[in-house]
Structures are given as C-alpha cells and as structure tokens.
Structure 1
Amino acid sequence: MSDYSCDALIIGSGQAGNPLAKALAEAGQKVILVEAAQMGGSCLNYGCVPTKTLLASATRAHQVHTAANLGVYVRGEVEIDMPTVVARKEKLLAKSRRSLTESLAPEHENITVVRGHAAFTGPYQVHVQETKERSSEITAKQVFVNTGTHAAVPPVPGLADTKFLTTTELLDLEEVPEHLLILGGGYIGLEFGQMFRRFGSRITIVEHSGQVLEREDDDVCQVLQDALTAEGIEFIMNAEVHHVSQNAEGQFNLATSTRQGERRLHGSHLLVATGRKPNTEGLGLELAGVKTDEQGYIEVNTRLQSNVDHIYALGDVHGGPQFTHLSYDDYRVVRDNLLHQGPRRSAKQRPLPYCVFTDPALGRIGLSETQAKDQGIDYRVSVTPVKKISRAQQTGDDLGFWKMLVGPDDRIIGAAIIGPEAGEIMTIVQVAMAGGLQYQELAEMVIAHPVWAEGLNVAFKDIK
C-alpha cells in the first residue's frame, strides 16, 4: 500500500478538474489527480467531442443527399460506412486523451495521476482502489470532487432486462439501426435522432410531455419539431411508457399510453435519453460529512464549497445546468477565489449560453420570453424569420427565426437563435449583452455583406 499526502486532491479529470490541477501545481501546490475511467471526463469521452464528430459525418451525408436543391447531382447511391465514421471519432479521442495525459504528468512535477476508484473514509482521508491488489490512502488539505454524471435509467417495468443503449454505447455502434426508438425529447434525443436519421435509420422519439425541449418557448420547440418531422422523424408526445421488452431476435417492444389511447412501438434498437444522475454513489460522502440533495448532487455555495469548507464540487456533480463551458468556468471560480487577489468570484452570477446542435441549430443566451413573463420583467421582442436574411436566401438554409428580447433601457436581455450558425450569432449577442450595448447599436452597425451576422441589422428593426 502506498501512502500519499498532498495539498490538493482532485477526484475526476473532467473539464474543471484538469485545468485546476495545472493551476494549483503551477502555484506550487502538490496535487494528486484520481481518475477511475478515461481521462478527460464526459465531454471528451462520450459528450461534446465524440457526438459532434459523428454529427459532422451525418451533416455531410445530408448535404450530399440534398445537393440537388442547389443544382448539384450525385450519380449513384450514397453509402454510410459506420465503421469508418466511428474510427474517425476514435482517432480524435485517442489523440485528445494522449495529449491531456501528457500535459498533466510528467510535464508538471507537482502533479501525480492515480488511476482508480476514490472514496472518502473521513473528511480529509480518501481511499483509492487502483487494482484488486493495490490501493492507496491519501490525506489531503483540500479535496475537489469533479466526478460528473451518468445516464439516468427510468424505472420502466422490463427496461432493465433489455439490452437498451445509452449515448455512451450508441457512440460506438458500428451499424446503422434499422429503427431506433428514443426515450426522451430533450436535446440529447433530438441530436441523436437527427444524426441517425441522416445515417439512414428510421427514428421514433417518445416524449412524456407535450413538447420537445420543454424548458424553451413554445415557438422555438415547434420550429425544431417541425424541422425534424420534415426529415422523417416520428414524434410520440404526451406518452408514458409502462413496459419494455425484447424478443429473441433482439427487437424491442414498447407499450405506451398516449392521449389517443394505447400504442405499441417496435424497433431494432432503443436509446434511453431521459436525463442524468450524479456520480456520487460509492464516494463515501457521508463519511466526510458532505451533504447532497435528494437526487444525490453535492450541495454547494457560490464559491462551490460543500458544507465541509475544504471539500469542493465542480462540474455537473453539483447540479444545475450541465454544460462543459460551465464546468470550465467552475475551475475559474475556484482558481480565482483560492489563488488570485481581488473580488470574490461567484458561480451563481454568470451568463448561461448554450446550443442545441440540431439542424436548424438553437443558440440561447439570457432570458427566454417565457422566463421574462414568469419573472414579471418588462420586455419588447422582435422575431425575424431566417428567410429574411440575405445569406439565407443565397444558401437556401432558411429554416428558423431570430428572437431578440430587450428591456426598458434598450439593452438586450435575451435571445433565441434558430437557424444556421446559431451558436456563433448567439455569441455575438452575448458579447453585446456583456458590453451593455443598446440594441440600436447593433441595428445601425456596419456589418460586412453578406455574412450571417448581417442579420443583426435586420433582427432589431421591428423592436417598438
């Protein structure tokens, strides 16, 4: 058994843990980083990086299939080589994991990487089971939990007895499913549904509520659902799945209740995309005195400290919106509060930009119209169809709209961008919001013609 002592113990090598390890090490602290699985956390291994890599292949296939709309004809059949698609993704992941590992140790002499499962045995003590035969006992002055989440599996009768897929397994599938059933109409279900539809699968999305992306404005959800329906994706809304089974040939059978009555669904594959659960079970948090909420997320203050002052939680494991960029900002919050002089930095007072990588894509920043109404905030709104933007008319990509909300002081308080380059346009709006610009400055700004951002000149003209 090896004995360690360190200034900082980081459990989990996600988007917050890795840069924090480097920052603390460069400040002269002795750091131990423990990882039980692949280096890089969820974003690198089964989140943003692999998903968007596969989405790029699906998008290219769609562009080929729809090239005739622009007068370009492809002679012969377009084939999807899924082993090659997956191999491209794996090559990128291997390179990223290797670069990350090398950047942590031995490059930083103050960082020690330990592979194994960590569990608290006391407030300052952590046991790490590295192999069946080898374990380590680590004593740390400060501990940072960055263990992330895993796919939540709903308690549907029969589901646990089937070989259903989560996104982790689906990313490695080297075949195109004949008929992919998806439980969940959130952004994960929509992205994977459109991806595999464009690879050639028949897709059925089963959602328990009345709309996809239930936290978004109704008009946003409707545009996205209509666009995916037009591509051949079937939506079963307001549906409750009360039994799942799988026959000897591997076919899935779902018994569902809808407002139109009972309906049975049959498919070759089943993806469960109904949310996430924190990776806190088995961490021994109770032995350290760390409090969690009813779902198992670690409760933290604005500095990301748990109720035990020297134990912090970073990334998805403390609940709230689960995005890579927020996890990385958690690192900034902890770094600045521990290492830098100046005002205290808060994890609660920050913007929340995010994107859904469907086609058309969705970029969101600030308040939605629904949120503004619920909070009693005065606002004015403009909704600009994408087809009114010059660039859309030239490219033929004209689905969606740009919705802008401004407050009584003429400053932007929120935006929902649905359409091409949605994330990039949303980021321009975010910069304007951060700079406190009034909407007239964007409406009158000289923007190069005919870039997509020129639509900002158009989007605010209808503000009253």
Structure 2
Amino acid sequence: MNKYDAIIIGFGKGGKTLAGAMEGQGWKVAMIEQSANMYGGTCINIACIPSKSLAYQSEHAESFHRESFQNQKAYYHKAISSKDELVSSLRSKNYHKLSDKGGMTVFTGKASFESSREVKVEMQDETIILTAERIFINTGAVPIVPNIEGIGECHRVYDSTTLMEQTELPKRLVIVGGGYIGLEFASMYANFGSEVTVLDGAKEFLGREDRDIAEEILKTLEDKGIQYQSNAKVQSVKDMEGGAQVIYLLDGEHPETVQTDAILLATGRKPNTEGLHLDKAGVTLDEKGAIQVDKHLQTSVPRIWAMGDVKGGPQFTYISLDDYRIVKDQLFGDGTRNTEDRVNIPYSVFIDPPLSRVGLTEEEARKQGFQIKIAKMPVAASPRAQLMKETEGILKAVVDAETEQILGCALFCTESSEIINIAQIAMQTGQKYTFLRDHIFTHPTMSEIFNDLFEQVK
C-alpha cells in the first residue's frame, strides 16, 4: 500500500514540477511536505512572491502615503492583506495541481530516512513508512541565526518570513546583514515609511559588484533615508519599553547603540537537512552542510537525488526549475543534460530600482586576463525612464576587446529584471555587442537602451 515509484521530500519548484511529469508518465508518486503552509515551496509562500508583492506595493506607498505615518501604517496593512490573499490562492492552486491527480498522494508531515529506500513520515495523527526505488530531496534552505546575545529572548527579532507576517508597519527597523535580501527589505520598508538602519558586518558594501555600481546603489538607498553602516558587528539585542535595543561594535572597537521597533535578521540561508537522518540513507554532505551531488544531481546514493537550495549553489527558483529539467532528462530523456550546461546565469535584486546582472564584472574580467572594453551610461538617458519618471541608476557592460562578445552586464534601473534576459540571450548565443547596439527595438521601451549603451563601448 505504501510502495511508490518515487518519493519527493519537499513541495518546492523542482520537486512539484517533477512530480507532475512523473505522474504524467504513469508513475505512482508520493509528495511529502511538512507544513500545510508550504504547499508550492519557498518562493510562493515565504520568498519571491510575497516579498515582490510587497516591494511592488511599497513603490506606490512612496508616492502617495507620505503625509502621515498613520496613513503609511494603514497602507502597509492593506499591502500585507493583499500579499496574504495572493499567497493563499497560489498555495491552494499548487496543492490541488498535484493532489487532484490520480497517481499522486500528498502527505503532510515530517520526513526522515530509515534507509536508502524507506522514508518515515510523522503526521499529525499517524506515522507511516513509505518505500520507493527513487527518492528526491527538495527541502530548500532555512535562515541562518547568528550567535548574538539575547537573540532568543528578544521579542522584536524576525527573519524575512516572520517580518512579512506582521500586519503593523515598524516605525524603526534595524536590519542585521547587508546582503541582497537585507537590501531588498531595506528598500521596501523605507518606501513604506519605516526609518531603516542596515548593520552590515562586511567591510565593503556589495563586495561582489564593481565599485561604480555599488556606489550608485548605496547613494540611491541613502537618498531614501536608509542609514547604512559597514563593518558593524552586532553584539547583543534586548527588549526595552516600546521597542528593542541593538548594541554593535563599529570597526571592531567602538560600541554603538540603536533603538528600534523591529530587528530583521538577514544573515543568509543554509541547506535545510536537519532531521532528515541522511546518514541512515548513506547520503553525504559537503563542508558547508549542503547535500553533495554530481552534475546530474545524484547524491552519493545513485537512487537518491537532491534538487534546489538543499544542494547548495545559487538559491534561485529558476535554478530549481532547471534541476527538474536535468532529472527529467535522466528519467525520460537521453540523460545528457547536466549542471555544466549552465553558463551566464542572470539574477535580479529587487531593490528600488532593481539591480540585475549577468556574467563577469569589470574586476572579474580583468583578473581572468581578458582585454576588455567598457560601456557605461546613466539611466536618465532612456526616454522610457524619463516618461516613467524613474531615472535613477546606471548601466554598464563589459566587452571582450578581441572577440567583441559581451562578458558581463550590470543594469541598475527600472525594469532591469526583464531586460537583463535580453543581454543573457545575446551572451548565450555568442553574439557580438554590435548585435544589441544595432538591433531594432520598439520605442519607447527600456530594452532599446541597449542601442545607446553599446554605442558607448570604448
């Protein structure tokens, strides 16, 4: 009765898509998800969709709700409600997309391995053992909780998930961590009207980006009123009357104190493997705690695969979706698709305006020995940006001086999350930069800015 062709642990993007494909091939599939609030995975429930819903609505808050903090709080409350409705609808749709299929069974409970073929599921009313020859781990990642005094006792501490569950806008918000997630929330909550302070343990703001791009981003964030502090090591947090207190060391020696209404921990995420008992299955982890996989996503046990954030690497939904394609190709195709096929993966950071990047930075290209040319221009040169009155930002491209191919592109501008894909496709297909310089784009659009950007190559 509890024997299946495949068991999938975790209802995330890769797992749920693979489940549908396997059921379509006539397989009997068990999907295990430990929380009814996570049907559909991280992106739909606690990450991409809810945060981008709030980010989008925050841009309107910045324009129309500056007259009083009470109005800002009311608008924020409505934004949270709208976000919750969207997430609830998508969660239900994802659940029924699988549960309504004849060959699918969804189990809501905590999964753990008993052996390489057996998975125990502890549900609310019973515990059962499922067996299958093929098992797929898709359990995602969880927030890293830093070792800070008082962090377990302070009632004003949140992670990115729990902060978005609060219906009252914090007047003051301290964000611990200056990475991409921290900056997205900083931009979003500043737009809603919060007084935001970012305490970044790093010595350099956005160290992965070229300094001209990073400086432009920092200027834009500071223009929103965001207070950013680098090389700030948080020492302790504690509740106080009407809020909380954060004590941090500046430059490793100067103690500073800031009062706040909420503290967001944005110190990274780690693979979610706790409680899986992977040792019983013989599945090994790497030095960072991620499940080790080969280029076909098989673990140290060939009949067990890992997909998505739990295996480490870039934590993007579209990477998890490509994991599905790789596994599907092994099961039902010729088995040639693998992780080595992935080059020039773009990403977007949804600050306001968003930063999108693909390929090498100028610094990376020089370190790798390329002879390069640079193209750079302000976003204000775009007619589309002018008519939308969103002229903040800068555009930059790195070109191989010998082959004239595009090595990298950084777009800090409105709609960059859309048009970065144009640059990626040009790179992926080996086009010279002149392809975009001379391409015919519709007008007035943000995409036509590539005509002007690549005219600047020198």
Q: Normalised by the size of structure 2, how large is the TM-score?
A: 0.94
2:426 matches 1:428: no
Tell me the residue number matched to 1:60: 60
Following superposition, the deviation at residue 324 of structure 1 comes to 0.8
CA contact (8 A) 2:12 2:138 kept: yes
Tell me the residue number matched to 1:71: none
**Distance in 2 separating the partners of 1:441 and 1:332:** 30
Partner of 2:340: helix, strand, or coil? coil
Following superposition, the deviation at residue 78 of structure 1 comes to 5.1
**Distance in 2 separating the partners of 1:32 and 1:76:** 49
Code of the aligned partner of 2:165? D
Following superposition, the deviation at residue 447 of structure 1 comes to 2.1
**Distance in 1 separating the partners of 2:121 and 2:388:** 55
| Deviates most, 139-148 or 207-216 | 207-216
Following superposition, the deviation at residue 248 of structure 1 comes to 4.9
88, 94, 118: which is aligned to 2:88?
94
Structure 1 spans left out of the alignment, 5+ residues: 67-73
2:433 matches 1:439: yes
Following superposition, the deviation at residue 101 of structure 1 comes to 1.1
**Distance in 2 separating the partners of 1:78 and 1:271:** 23
Code of the aligned partner of 1:139? T
2:406 matches 1:416: no
Following superposition, the deviation at residue 432 of structure 1 comes to 1.4
CA contact (8 A) 2:247 2:255 kept: no
CA contact (8 A) 1:252 1:270 kept: no
CA contact (8 A) 2:112 2:276 kept: yes
Code of the aligned partner of 1:399? E
Post-superposition CA distance 1:36-87 (Å, at most 9, x none): 0120111011100000111121011123369xxxxxxx99995442332211
Instruction: Summarize the Cα distance change of 1:405–1:28 in structure 2 as closer, same or farther, 3 Å threshold.
Output: same
Instruction: Summarize the Cα distance change of 1:366–1:147 in structure 2 as closer, same or farther, 3 Å threshold.
Output: same
Tell me the residue number matched to 2:50: 50
Following superposition, the deviation at residue 449 of structure 1 comes to 2.6
Code of the aligned partner of 1:201? S
Q: How many corresponding residue pairs?
A: 452
| Deviates most, 228-237 or 347-356 | 347-356
**Distance in 1 separating the partners of 2:237 and 2:72:** 32
Instruction: Summarize the Cα distance change of 1:15–1:76 in structure 2 as closer, same or farther, 3 Å threshold.
Output: closer
2:115 matches 1:117: no
Post-superposition CA distance 1:308-358 (Å, at most 9, x none): 1111110000001101111111111111122113x6111233131110111
Partner of 2:7: helix, strand, or coil? strand
Summarize the alignment of residues 19-38 of structure 1 with structure 2, pairs less than 5 Å apart.
Answer: 19-37=17-35, 38=38
2:200 matches 1:207: yes
**Distance in 1 separating the partners of 2:204 and 2:73:** 31
CA contact (8 A) 2:296 2:326 kept: yes
**Distance in 2 separating the partners of 1:5 and 1:156:** 46
Instruction: Summarize the Cα distance change of 1:302–1:200 in structure 2 as closer, same or farther, 3 Å threshold.
Output: same
**Distance in 2 separating the partners of 1:282 and 1:267:** 35
Following superposition, the deviation at residue 273 of structure 1 comes to 0.4
| Deviates most, 260-269 or 316-325 | 260-269
Instruction: Summarize the Cα distance change of 1:143–1:54 in structure 2 as closer, same or farther, 3 Å threshold.
Output: same
Q: Normalised by the size of structure 1, how large is the TM-score?
A: 0.93
5, 8, 14: which is aligned to 1:7?
5
2:221 matches 1:228: yes
Tell me the residue number matched to 1:456: 450
Partner of 2:302: helix, strand, or coil? coil
CA contact (8 A) 1:126 1:138 kept: yes
Post-superposition CA distance 1:189-236 (Å, at most 9, x none): 111111111211111000011233322222222111110101100011
Partner of 2:208: helix, strand, or coil? coil
Tell me the residue number matched to 1:159: 151
Summarize the alignment of residues 306-321 of structure 1 with structure 2, pairs less than 5 Å apart.
Answer: 306-321=299-314
Code of the aligned partner of 1:349? D
Tell me the residue number matched to 1:129: 122
Tell me the residue number matched to 2:133: 141
Tell me the residue number matched to 2:15: 17
**Distance in 2 separating the partners of 1:317 and 1:456:** 37
Instruction: Summarize the Cα distance change of 1:140–1:234 in structure 2 as closer, same or farther, 3 Å threshold.
Output: same
Partner of 1:139: helix, strand, or coil? strand
Tell me the residue number matched to 2:78: 84
CA contact (8 A) 2:65 2:72 kept: no
Code of the aligned partner of 2:236? H
Tell me the residue number matched to 1:366: 359
Structure 2 spans left out of the alignment, 5+ residues: none
CA contact (8 A) 1:209 1:237 kept: yes
Tell me the residue number matched to 1:347: 339
User: Percent of counterpart pairs with the same letter?
Assistant: 36
CA contact (8 A) 1:212 1:221 kept: yes
Code of the aligned partner of 2:358? I
Partner of 1:246: helix, strand, or coil? strand
**Distance in 1 separating the partners of 2:423 and 2:246:** 45
**Distance in 1 separating the partners of 2:347 and 2:69:** 39
**Distance in 1 separating the partners of 2:319 and 2:192:** 31
Summarize the alignment of residues 280-299 of structure 1 with structure 2, pairs less than 5 Å apart.
Answer: 280-299=273-292
RMSD: 1.9
**Distance in 1 separating the partners of 2:72 and 2:229:** 29
Code of the aligned partner of 1:85? A
Partner of 1:265: helix, strand, or coil? strand
**Distance in 2 separating the partners of 1:77 and 1:34:** 43
